Structure 1
C-alpha cells in the first residue's frame, strides 16, 4: 500500500458535479469505491466505482469503511465535512496519514449569504442528529441562529418547540436544497411552519422573539428551571460552587451525589467542550437528573445510578470532582489514593459531622476551607427580618 492517503472525504453540494473543481472531479473519477448516503450518491454519475450506501445509524458505516482500507475510497459528505459533518468522526477513527479532506461550501455559508447575516455574529447548530433541546440555553429575543435539521418534518417540530418554550413570535427562514436546482427559501411564522411542507435537505434561520424565560449566562441559574424533590444545591451556593470548580475547556467532572443534577448541568452549560458524569444512589433521582439534563439541552451528561466509590473504578478519570452528597472518610480516602495528582476536588458539607470531616481532611491535605452563611428576608410579624439558611462549609483542594 502506498504512503498516500487511501481515503478522501469529499464535500458535495446540491449541485453535484457542477460545484466541484476539476481536481475534485479527478478524485471521484479515480476512486475504486464511493461511499455515502443515498442522496449524495444520487448526485454523482456512474464512474465505474463500487458504490456503498452509508448505513443508519452512522456508526455502523465505520466498520465497512475500515474494511476498504488500501482501496482508493471517496466518502461523500455535505458541504464542509468538518462543520457538524462526518469529517470529525472519520478523523477520530483513522490515522492522519490515511485520509485527506476536500471541503465544499458549507450550508451555513450559503444560508448566511441568502439571509445577509454575518456568520461571526450568528450561532450555528447541527441538529440533524441531535435533539431540539440543545437550543434551550441559547434562546433569547434577538438571537440569530442557523440550524441544520434532519428532514422537512422537523421544521414543524421546531415551531412546536419554540411555541412551548414561549418564543412563539420567532421568525423562521426555511431554506431547502441550498446551492442546487431545487433551492427554495421562504420566511414563515411558526403557524405557517406548522402547516407547511418542506423538502430535505433543509436548514432554518431563526430570528428569536417572544416572552419565554431567558437563562442568564452567569453561574447560578434560577432554581425554578430544574425539576426537583427539594434536594438541590440552591442558586447562590451553586454559583460559589461552580466558581470553586473552575471549569476549563475540555475537562471532565465527576458529580458525586447528583441530587437534581444542577451542578453537573451548569458545569456543561459553561462550554460545549466540557463533559460530566453524575453518580446518584437513588433511582428516582437519577431519572430526574436525566430529565433535567435532557430538558435543558445537556443530553450529553452521563448519569450513573450507583454508590460512590463502588462505581467509580469503572469510569474514565476526572479532572475535577464535586461531592454534594454521600460524603464520607472512605470516599475521600478512595479519591486521594485513586486519582492522579492535579485533580481538583470540591466538597460541600451542611451537617456538623461532615463539617468536622472536612476540617480533618483540610488539616491533612491543605486547600481552602470556606464557610458560607446566607440569609433571606422573610416576614417577621408585621415587619421583615432575616431568615438564615443552614451554613455550608466548602473544601477545595488540588490533590
Structure 2
C-alpha cells in the first residue's frame, strides 16, 4: 500500500495575529514546511518562529487549490484561514476538493473565533438569533431576502467599499432608517467601530477587514412564503399569477439544496420563488426570448436571488448538458416536439414534474400523460371581486390546467 502524504493543517487566524493563536495552532505552523494563505494572513506570521516557505493564494483561488496541493503533496502543509475555516472559509473548499481522494481524512482544522463570534460579543447580540449574510464573492443583491422590518443582520464584507454599498442598497429598498455599525479588525489592536444611518452613511471607506451590523428598523414587508404580489415582478404579461404560483410551488415542494429546471421562464417567477425558499436551492430557467431572458435576470436581482442561471435558448435542445434536476416546471412550450419526453427522462427516480397550461391543445397533451403515468391532474380557477355598476361581481381569470407527477423508481407506463 502506498504511503499517504503528510496531513494538511488548516489554521484559523484573527486580526490579533500570532499572539492570538493557541499553542496547538502555533505548533502546527512551526512544524509546517509550506504555509499557504492570503498575503495579509502570511504577513501576520513571525519569520523567526515560522520557517516554512510562504505561498500566497493566486486569484481565482478555487481552481488553483488542487494544483498547489499536488505541487507540495510530499511536504507538511499548513493553510491559513480567517477566523473559523469552516465558516464561509477555505476549510469548506478543501473538504470538497479532497472528498473521495486518498487520505482525505488527513485534513486537520484548528479554528479561531470567527468574526461573527467577535461581533456578537461586542454587540451583545445572541449568535443563534442573528442572521448572517456573506457578500464575499457574492452580488450585493444577495442581501435582499434578509431585509425584514425589525431584524438584525451581520453582513460579511467583501472589501472596504462594502459598508457604503450596503447603506445605499438599504436606502434604495426602503430601509434608510436602518442603523449600521461597521466593526473593523475585530480582535486586533486596530479594532474600531463606525456608526451611522443607512440614509446618508457618513463615513469614508475604512479597513477592508470588516463586518457590518445592521439593525433594520421600519421598512417594507416581504412575505417569506411563495405567492409574492404580481407587481413584485417586471412583466410583459407572461407571468404565473400569484395564487396559481403559490399552488404550483407547493406542488413542486422545494427542499434545501435541490435544483429546479424552469422551462419557458416567462418572467422567472417560479424559479425565483423556488430560490427564495432556501438559500441553498439552485435553479435554471430556460427562456428562448432574449428580451424576456434579460427581464428574468433583472427580476432575480431585484428579489434577492441573482444566482438564478438563465439559459437563453429554446427547449428541449437547451436542456442538453444541464445538471440533473430534482424538479422540473414547464410553464410554456408544452407542445414543442419532445419537450415533455426530455424533461421526464432527465428526472431521477423521485423527481417531480409540474406542468401548467391554459390552452386546449396543451391540456389534451397533459391528459394523455396523466393517462400514461398517473400523478394528479387538476384545474385551478381564480376569480376576483370587481365593481359591476354600483354592485360587486366576480371576474374569472383563465383557468389553469396542471399535471404533476413523481417519477417512480422503476419505469412504468399505464397505457391500456
TM-score grouping bracket, smaller chain normalisation: over 0.9
Of the structure 1 ranges 382-391 and 113-122, higher mean CA displacement relative to structure 2 is found in: 382-391
Q: In the alignment, what sits opposite 2:23?
A: 22
| TM-superposed deviation, 1:383 | 2.3
Q: In the alignment, what sits opposite 2:166?
A: 158
Alignment of 1:78 with 2:85, yes or no, is no
| TM-superposed deviation, 1:357 | 1.2
CA distance in 2, matches of 1:5, 1:390: 66
TM-score by length of 1: 0.96
Alignment of 1:127 with 2:135, yes or no, is yes
Q: In 2 relative to 1, CA 192–355 (structure 1 residues): closer, same or farther, beyond 3 Å?
A: closer
Alignment of 1:144 with 2:145, yes or no, is no
Residue in structure 1 matching 2:308, options 301, 310, 318: 301
Of the structure 1 ranges 266-275 and 233-242, higher mean CA displacement relative to structure 2 is found in: 266-275
Q: In the alignment, what sits opposite 1:92?
A: 96
Q: In the alignment, what sits opposite 1:173?
A: 181
Q: In the alignment, what sits opposite 1:264?
A: 271
| TM-superposed deviation, 1:4 | 6.4
| TM-superposed deviation, 1:194 | 4.0
Aligned-pair Cα RMSD in Å = 1.6
Contact 2:11 2:109 in 1 (8 A): yes
Q: In the alignment, what sits opposite 1:104?
A: 112
Of the structure 1 ranges 365-374 and 126-135, higher mean CA displacement relative to structure 2 is found in: 126-135
Q: In the alignment, what sits opposite 2:414?
A: none
Contact 1:159 1:194 in 2 (8 A): no
Aligned residues: 398
Q: In the alignment, what sits opposite 2:242?
A: 235
CA distance in 1, matches of 2:3, 2:183: 43
Contact 1:138 1:215 in 2 (8 A): no
CA distance in 1, matches of 2:263, 2:111: 43
Q: In the alignment, what sits opposite 1:286?
A: 293
CA distance in 1, matches of 2:70, 2:392: 71
| TM-superposed deviation, 1:57 | 2.3
| TM-superposed deviation, 1:282 | 0.8
Structure 2: state its 5+ residue gaps. Answer: 408-416
SS at match of 2:363: helix
Q: In 2 relative to 1, CA 207–383 (structure 1 residues): closer, same or farther, beyond 3 Å?
A: same
Residue in structure 2 matching 1:59, options 59, 62, 82: 62
TM-score by length of 2: 0.92
CA distance in 2, matches of 1:280, 1:69: 46
Q: In 2 relative to 1, CA 70–293 (structure 1 residues): closer, same or farther, beyond 3 Å?
A: farther
Matches within 5 A, 1:287-366: 287-328=294-335, 330-366=338-374
Contact 1:3 1:97 in 2 (8 A): no
Structure 1: state its 5+ residue gaps. Answer: none
Residue in structure 1 matching 2:53, options 32, 50, 67: 50
Contact 2:14 2:82 in 1 (8 A): yes
